[in-house]
């Protein structure tokens, strides 16, 4: 008679330890893959030329769009927008805010609150998830440590649930105006994000993109992350929007580290950035330049 082999018992704590070890291995592999991809700059042949608040850009070929949502908005709308971008081969840069934009205390990240928005993050394979953008601005005046923790939790959670999701941290240009190193306090661990993104606007005649974004580019190269300008614009009252657009266009082409830029065609607390008819026409002319690899289908 064969003696049965004793069954090895495993405690619940052993199971938890094993699960934690597997997760750590998964995170390590993800970090290595992320590092390999971003350090070699996967988009050296891709220069984005896109819009935010794109209602006025109908018929103009663009290959990127800036999208916004809050946890109090309808996730189906965001999914439809990202799906439309995917259908025309364009990139979607998505921010999902933390509820009340004027709250001074950042609530703890909630995976369950993010769950309805996961299908939107899955809708376009060319999505970059930005979490909360522009910390330290008038709308999002959070403590850096609270913001960093929220973003780390958000990126870890969404990357686990959306295979291949690219992530980016989007700061204001003026955050690092005095020194490129001033950006650092707002960043989670560099293995958690793929792109370093900037929002920055021109309010002075003579402004150029190289002048405004020099520190951001320096910092992006330092941390080995591609730079994307997620919002830019110039106050229409300056009368030099076409010159500003040309400088942004040249800045994009100037370095393989600059992925692209999206114009915000609206009004903000510091200016009215809507393109004049002549500037909009110039935007469209630049959009057809082969250097920007525009998609065939317009918005």
| pLDDT tens profile 183-225 | 999 999 999 999 999 999 999 989 999 999 999 999 999 999 9
The residues facing 197 across adjacent strands are 170, 228
Instruction: Compute the Cα dihedral for 97, 95, 123, 223 and give only its sign.
Output: negative
Task: For residue 15, tell me if it sits in a domain.
Answer: no
User: Which percentage of the chain shows pLDDT scores above 70?
Assistant: 78
Residue 111 belongs to some domain of the structure:
yes
Task: Please give the tally of structural domains in the chain.
Answer: 1
pLDDT at 298 over 60: no
Q: How far is CA 140 from the centre of its chain?
A: 16
CB 200 within 8 A of CB 225: no
Tens digit of each residue's pLDDT (9 = 90 or more) over 30-59: 444 344 333 334 444 578 999 988 888 988
In this structure, of 123-132, 194-203, 288-297, the range with the lowest mean pLDDT score is 288-297
> 230 in a domain, yes or no?
yes
For residue 189, being part of any structural domain is answered with yes
Question: What gap in Å lies between CA 230 and CA 183, rounded to an integer?
Answer: 16
The domain that contains 113 carries what CATH number? 3.20.20.80
In a domain, 33, yes or no: no
Residue 85 lies in a domain: yes
The pLDDT value given to residue 222: 96
**Residue 184, domain member (yes or no):** yes
66 pLDDT higher than 90: yes
Residue range of the domain that includes 270: 48-292
Q: What is the mean pLDDT of the chain?
A: 84
Domain presence at residue 107: yes
């Amino acid at each position: 008679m064969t003696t049965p082999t004793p069954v090895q018992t495993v405690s619940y704590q052993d199971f938890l330890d094993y699960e934690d070890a597997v997760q750590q291995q998964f995170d390590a592999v993800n970090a290595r893959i992320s590092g390999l991809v971003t350090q070699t700059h996967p988009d050296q042949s891709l220069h984005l030329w896109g819009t935010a608040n794109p209602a006025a850009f109908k018929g103009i070929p663009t290959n990127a769009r800036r999208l916004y949502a809050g946890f109090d908005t309808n996730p189906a709308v965001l999914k439809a927008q990202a799906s439309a971008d995917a259908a025309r081969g364009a990139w979607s840069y998505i921010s999902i805010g933390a509820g009340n934009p004027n709250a001074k205390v950042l609530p703890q990240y909630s995976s369950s609150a993010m769950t309805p928005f996961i299908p939107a993050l899955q809708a376009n394979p060319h999505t970059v998830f930005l979490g909360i953008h522009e910390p330290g601005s008038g709308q999002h005046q959070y403590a850096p440590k609270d913001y960093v923790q929220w973003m780390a939790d958000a990126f870890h959670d969404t990357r686990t649930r959306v295979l291949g999701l690219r992530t980016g941290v989007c700061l204001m240009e003026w955050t690092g105006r005095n020194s490129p190193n001033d950006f650092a306090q707002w960043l989670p661990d560099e293995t958690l994000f793929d792109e370093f993104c900037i929002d920055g606007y021109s309010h002075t005649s003579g402004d150029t993109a190289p002048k405004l974004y020099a520190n951001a580019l320096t910092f992006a190269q330092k941390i080995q992350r591609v730079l994307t300008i997620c919002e830019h614009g110039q106050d229409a009252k300056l009368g030099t929007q076409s010159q500003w657009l040309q400088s942004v266009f040249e800045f994009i082409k100037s370095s393989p580290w600059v992925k692209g830029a999206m114009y915000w065609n609206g009004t903000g607390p510091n200016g009215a950035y809507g393109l004049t008819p002549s500037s909009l026409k110039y935007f469209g002319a630049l959009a057809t330049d082969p250097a920007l690899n525009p998609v065939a289908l317009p918005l």
